[in-house]
Chains A and B, each alone.
Chain A
Amino acid sequence: QKEVEQNSGPLSVPEGAIASLNCTYSDRGSQSFFWYRQYSGKSPELIMSIYSNGDKEDGRFTAQLNKASQYVSLLIRDSQPSDSATYLCAVRDTGGYNKLIFGAGTRLAVHP
């Protein structure tokens, strides 16, 4: 069974710090990876996608991918209380049809 694993948290960081969220996946053939943010009571919102090994930066967010280690991470610099949410890692299913396999999510709490 293809799996995506995340630490459920909560991950608690002080305002202004770097939050580091990690994700591992089981399917070595996976090529597309996504991070979604989900506020309590809201729907998942796409914040980053990454397809190649290395880093991809977008504002305060950096996604990191290491296919050899089957590991993808999300760094949030200068964390703000508004970043407090659950972060979902998703991996495109190699079985096709654009299906995604989601991790259970990591809850991030940024405290002032």
Chain B
Amino acid sequence: DAGITQSPRYKITETGRQVTLMCHQTWSHSYMFWYRQDLGHGLRLIYYSAAADITDKGEVPDGYVVSRSKTENFPLTLESATRSQTSVYFCASSETPGLAGYNEQYFGPGTRLTVT
């Protein structure tokens, strides 16, 4: 059971290039999330998705695009990478809350992106 995976794990790219970070989960979770983590800022939500074809902006969406055509995949694209997007990116997923509000999020291993 692979759980939630991210690829690539490390990426170096140049300013202005388009980059896509992949996220794949095998749990059939409805909800998926993209975060970035920077020193001094903690985890900040970029985009989230409640189901296939349903996505919405989080706290820091500028410069990013997402899609979700299949439940298990949630790619994040940097349309024109900037140095300020150098960060560690985490994907997470969770089930739809049941009556007890059970909705824990589980994280992928992360992608360390450097924009030069």
Contacts and interface: CB of A to CB of B under 8 A. Distances in A.
Contacts of A78: none
Nearest to A103: B42
Interface stretch (A10-18, A60-68, A91-99): A91-99
A99 B33 contact: yes
A98 B43 contact: no
Interface residues of B, number: 25
Interface in A76-90: 88, 90
Main secondary structure of the interface of A (DSSP, over half): loop
Contacts of B106: 46
A92 B45 CA distance: 13
Interface in A10-32: 31-32
17 contacts: A31-B101, A32-B103, A34-B104, A43-B107, A43-B109, A44-B90, A44-B107, A51-B100, A92-B103, A97-B50, A97-B56, A98-B48, A99-B33, A99-B45, A100-B45, A102-B43, A104-B40
Interface of B: 31, 33, 40-43, 45, 48, 50, 56, 58, 90, 94, 96-97, 100-101, 103-110
Interface of A: 31-32, 34, 36, 42-46, 49, 51, 88, 90, 92, 97-100, 102-105
